[in-house]
Amino acid sequence: MKKEFLTKSETETLLLGESLSKHLSKGSLVLLYGDLGAGKTVFVKGVCKGLEVPENTYITSPTFSIVNVYEGKYKVYHVDLYRLDYVDEAEIGLWEYLEDGVVIIEWADRLGDIKAESYLKVEIFYINDNSRKIVISGYGELQELPAKLDKDNL
């Protein structure tokens, strides 16, 4: 199942991430795709807010550390593969992270073939300084999740 959203501000992008988070649980995998500056980290901030990561937690792309861990309702593993050309999911400990919390991967296009049966693919497209087209696709157990999201009720 695939659903498309149009956000008209950074706040709306954040709220869409927060809305999505309400349907995530330990073991959820979210793969983010989009150009530099598209809004991937803003979306992650929304997911973290919805997963009760404390507001005073500094959420930034872990470009140099590769993985940031945030404590909330579940541990959130925020992975950024921007600096890597290609990485195998075993190299970043993906399966161990999934056992322990929610995993969100920016620049997921650098990840090899996804062997996970259940995940969300979030594609963020820059339209202009404020607007983004966000396409959320669900696979496996998360296949129906996009249908549960309604931007009008953010």
Residue 153 scores a pLDDT above 80? no
- Position 150 confidence tier, pLDDT thresholds 50, 70, 90: confident
Q: Which residues of 22-41 are buried (b: 16+ CB within 10 A; e: fewer)?
A: ebbeebbbbbbbbeeebbbb
CA distances from 109 to 31, 53, 77 (A): 9, 26, 17
pTM for this structure? 0.91
Residue 70 scores a pLDDT above 70? yes
Residue-wise pLDDT for 39-68, tens only, equals 999 999 999 999 999 999 989 887 777 889
Q: Which residues of 50-67 are buried (b: 16+ CB within 10 A; e: fewer)?
A: bbebeeeeebebbeeebe
DSSP 64-126: TTSEEEE-SSSEEEEEE-TT-S-B-TTTTTHHHHHHHEEEEEETGGGB-----SSEEEEEEEE
Predicted pLDDT at 102: 96
Predicted pLDDT at 151: 65
Domain ranges of the chain: 2-149
Architecture of domain 2-149: 3-Layer(aba) Sandwich (3.40)
Residue-wise pLDDT for 77-114, tens only, equals 999 888 776 666 666 667 788 888 999 999 998 887 77
